[in-house]
Amino acid sequence: MPKCIIDGREAEFTPGQNLIEVAKSAGIDIPLFCYHPGLSVVAQCRMCAVEIEKMPKLQTACSTMATEGMVVKTKSEKTKENQESVMEFLLANHPLDCPVCDKSGECDLQDNSYKHGSSYSRYTEERRTYLDLDMGPVIKKNMNRCIHCTRCIRFGNEIAGLREMVALKRGNNTEITTIDGRPLETDYAGNYSDICPTGSLTLKDFRFKKRAWFLTKVPTVCEGCSKGCNMEIQQDNDQIYRCVPRENLEINRHWLCDEGRFNFHYLEREDRLVDPARSKSSGIEICDWGTSIDTAKATLEGQKVAILLGSDLTQEEASSVLQFKAQHYADSPIFHFGTPGVVSSKDDGPEDRILKQKSKTSNLNGMEKLGIPGFERLPAEITAALVIRGGRAVLPPEIDGVEKVGIGVFMKDQAMMFSAILPGLSFAEKDGTILNYEGRAQKLKRAVQAPGQSKSLSEILMIWTNRKNSHGVA
Ligand code: SF4
Ligand code: SF4
Ligand code: FES
């Protein structure tokens, strides 16, 4: 591999790599604002300028490709002087409202100002201010904080496929805005907040709920569709505050769709059933595990039972159900379900040209690998169903006419459909393996404790197996 020298360190590179990436792989961080590895390079903030031997002027590291033998200095006097000047320029109009800014603690402007700026400014004029129009339900705009890096404009044009962010006017009057001040239209709006290096575009959903430094970050996978985008759940005290993308260049690159990003809210709904329950003509009755399992067993006893598995369950969960079936319901048919109109991976495919897949559950492929067929209709002889799901699989209306027992995540308005409900875990509350649409196995990681009395599927099936029925038989 070719090599160059950065700050006296030998760094290997692949031809075509820019100096920012080469330096990063050698453990050297070059400060930057406008460069983003998922967007085109515009080299307009000048923060990343470095000294290169035999070149009289500083060169921007984001737009300069490494070459064999190149000698680069990222911390020379000339470089530092430039970084200080860029910071002074960018902060000339900045309101410096970090204490009340949601980006505080994870803001490139704040970090670079601390590391590379000066505590002195020569700017005495009045700072410019903008009137911020509403950008729709996802993003809150505060253009007083904008440094015109144009990452948002490039994201709209190059990734979201919508030219919805533009730069109006020029010079000191430049304003980044949506066209005609319209709300954002993309289904990927949350990414604007991730890529903005300042607090100009923040998530409405997260604003003022938690300081970034209090959050525990758990690497996991989105359950929103069969794409399997890599994400990080950020939580504190077992409450999820937000989900952000984790880079995986082979799957989601740097992005998440809004559906996947905000999907976690259903876990926290007040009407989620988190205690074992049974339904009576008077309504739902919360009961103990024993009573609920007895009701479940009594419902299925003597019936022709079908087992329906949500394709939002993990491989480990589906395998434990197959073992349970062999032990208790060996003659029963088993099907997977999840998305209306998607019976098998033949029905799956891209929903758009960015990330989204048609299957709105994460493990359709895994169910097929285990040999479980997709649900189309109940066989005529079936009189009862054991329905097991994570929380996202959509219940098929074809099961309305039979007695049912539910295991997993259900809301109270769904509970009356079932004679008994045994509350289980959502994707954020368990570890496990899921296979995305390409068959790539990825790990879900538990980010929060499950609420109430919810239990893992293996534990529920074990209690079920070990509990004697009314005839004293397990
Ligand atoms: S709003 Fe943010 S991403 Fe857009 S130009 Fe301003 S600082 Fe850059
Ligand atoms: S494309 Fe699918 S997996 Fe990716 S973030 Fe959206 S819902 Fe989640
Ligand atoms: S990051 Fe290189 S010029 Fe902005």
pLDDT in tens, 213-231: 999 999 999 999 999 999 9
**pLDDT band for position 119 (cuts 50, 70, 90):** confident
Buried-exposed string 182-212: b where 16+ CB fall within 10 A, e elsewhere: eebebbbbbbbbbbbbbbbbbbbbbeeebeb
Lookup: tokens for 92: 């000339």
- 167 Cα nearest atom in ligand 1: 5
Q: Is the pTM of this model over 0.75?
A: yes
229, 230, 262, 442: residue to mutate for ligand 2 pocket, most atoms within 8 A of CB: 229
Expressed in angstroms and rounded, the spacing between residue 406 Cα and the centre of ligand 3 is 55
Place of tokens 């570890």: 431
pLDDT at 422: 98
DSSP character for 156?
A: I
pLDDT at 331: 96
- 150 Cα nearest atom in ligand 1: 5
3-state secondary structure 235-290: EECCEEEEEEECCECCCCECCCCHHHHHHHHHHHCCCECCCCEEEECCEEEECCHH
> What domains lie within the chain, and their CATH numbers?
3-82 (3.10.20.740), 92-211 (3.30.70.20), 277-466 (3.40.50.740)
Task: Quote the CA–CA distance of 357 and 222 in Å, as a whole number.
Answer: 12
Query: Within its chain, how far is the Cα of 196 from the centroid?
Result: 17
How does DSSP assign 184-215, residue by residue? P--TTTHHHHHH-SSTTEEETTTTTT--GGG-
Expressed in angstroms and rounded, the spacing between residue 437 Cα and the centre of ligand 3 is 36
**Nearest-CA neighbor of 127 among 94, 159, 97?**
94
Expressed in angstroms and rounded, the spacing between residue 38 Cα and the centre of ligand 3 is 14
**Nearest-CA neighbor of 316 among 431, 409, 460, 437?**
431
Expressed in angstroms and rounded, the spacing between residue 113 Cα and the centre of ligand 1 is 17
Expressed in angstroms and rounded, the spacing between residue 360 Cα and the centre of ligand 2 is 9
120 pLDDT above the threshold of 90: no
Residue nearest to atom 2 of ligand 2 (CA): 225
pLDDT at 365: 98
* Percent of the chain that is helix, strand, coil (3-state, to 5): 25, 20, 50
Mean pLDDT of 426-449: 98
H-run or E-run covering 36: none
Expressed in angstroms and rounded, the spacing between residue 186 Cα and the centre of ligand 2 is 14
* Sequence-separated (6 or more) residues with CB below 8 Å from residue 231: 219, 220, 221, 222, 243, 244, 245, 246, 256, 260, 261
Torsion sign (Cα): 125, 131, 136, 137: positive
Q: Decide: 430 in ligand 1 pocket, CB within 6 A.
A: no
Residues within a 6 A CB radius of ligand 2: 222, 224-225, 227-229, 252, 256-257, 259-260, 355-357
- For the stretch 156-176, pLDDT in tens is 999 999 999 999 999 999 999
- 436 Cα nearest atom in ligand 2: 3
Amino acid found at 160:
A
Residue 451 burial (10 A CB sphere; 0-12, 13-18, 19+): middle
Task: Quote the CA–CA distance of 260 and 219 in Å, as a whole number.
Answer: 15
Task: Quote the CA–CA distance of 110 and 99 in Å, as a whole number.
Answer: 11
Task: Quote the CA–CA distance of 279 and 86 in Å, as a whole number.
Answer: 66
**pLDDT band for position 34 (cuts 50, 70, 90):** very high
32 pLDDT above the threshold of 70: yes
82 pLDDT above the threshold of 70: yes
DSSP character for 429?
A: G
473 pLDDT above the threshold of 90: no
Q: What percent of the chain has pLDDT over 90?
A: 94
**pLDDT band for position 273 (cuts 50, 70, 90):** very high
**Nearest-CA neighbor of 348 among 191, 225, 213, 208?**
225
- For the stretch 327-342, pLDDT in tens is 999 999 999 999 999 9
Find the distance separating the first CA and the last CA of the chain, reported in whole Å.
65
pLDDT at 197: 98
H-run or E-run covering 379: none
220, 243, 355: residue to mutate for ligand 2 pocket, most atoms within 8 A of CB: 355
Expressed in angstroms and rounded, the spacing between residue 45 Cα and the centre of ligand 3 is 5
Contacts of residues 200-203 at CB distance under 8 Å and 24 or more positions apart, as own/partner, are: 200/141, 200/142, 200/143, 200/145, 200/146, 200/147, 200/176, 201/135, 201/139, 201/140, 201/141, 201/142, 201/152, 202/102, 202/103, 202/139, 202/140, 202/142, 203/102, 203/138, 203/139, 203/140, 203/242
**Nearest-CA neighbor of 28 among 12, 6, 13, 58?**
6
Lookup: tokens for 239: 């409450």
Task: Quote the CA–CA distance of 422 and 409 in Å, as a whole number.
Answer: 9
Mean pLDDT of 250-254: 98
Q: Decide: 34 in ligand 1 pocket, CB within 6 A.
A: no
CB–CB of 425/459 below 8 Å? no
Residue 13 burial (10 A CB sphere; 0-12, 13-18, 19+): buried
pLDDT at 469: 60
**Furthest-apart CA pair in the chain: how many Å?**
91
Place of tokens 């929060």: 448
98 pLDDT above the threshold of 80: yes
Q: Decide: 147 in ligand 1 pocket, CB within 6 A.
A: yes
- For the stretch 43-59, pLDDT in tens is 999 999 999 999 999 99
pLDDT at 33: 98
Q: Mean of the per-residue pLDDT values for the chain?
A: 96
Task: Quote the CA–CA distance of 63 and 355 in Å, as a whole number.
Answer: 28
**Nearest-CA neighbor of 407 among 330, 290, 321?**
321
Residue nearest to atom 4 of ligand 2 (CA): 229
